[in-house]
Structure 1
Amino acid sequence: MPFTPIFAPRGNTLQAASGDVPDATFDIVAFSGTVLGDKSDDRQAVLVWARSMATQGGVGGSIAEFCRRTRWSRATFDRHRIKACEKIAAAKNAAV
């Protein structure tokens, strides 16, 4: 649903702004904290990446800015992001 306007009425529960699209009630942000640990480097990388992709770097800065602040190379950032996404996907698939 990349072009569906959404809002968050509480926490990170997303709801479609139009009535003809099903709601997404799974809290992926909270789930990432459960799977990866709230303060883990992997979680930080995936959340920065997601925010940057969603806002084109307009909120919280770009990935390049994050890498400069943390002194990570882009390759290190991508390794953390990919590892985090794989762990989240595996945990979600196992939680069926």
Structure 2
Amino acid sequence: MGAMSRVFAVPAATPDAAVTQFLDRLRFETDVSDVHADLTAGVPDLVVVDSRGDAAWEQGRLPGAVHLPTARIAEEAAVTVPPTARVVTYC
């Protein structure tokens, strides 16, 4: 008798459950190529927030990104990011 598989110890999700999971994930995450396409197309109200520290920001960043380090988000987001903006954050 062969060894028990750790991979198959948990049954695979149904196709419907997998679709739901991946769609739910897209509510929180996006793909860099999709962000690039939207930035290139000039999609209105899209704000890219770079939440890295000052040193990383100085090394390079996305053109047009807003610098808002994680430690300053609570105090500065309301004045830095328009309230109607759709925000993509990266770090």
Tell me which interval the TM-score lies in, with the shorter structure as reference length: under 0.3
Larger Rg: 2
* Higher RCO structure (Cα 8 Å, ≥6 apart): 2
TM-score by length of 1: 0.25
TM-score by length of 2: 0.26
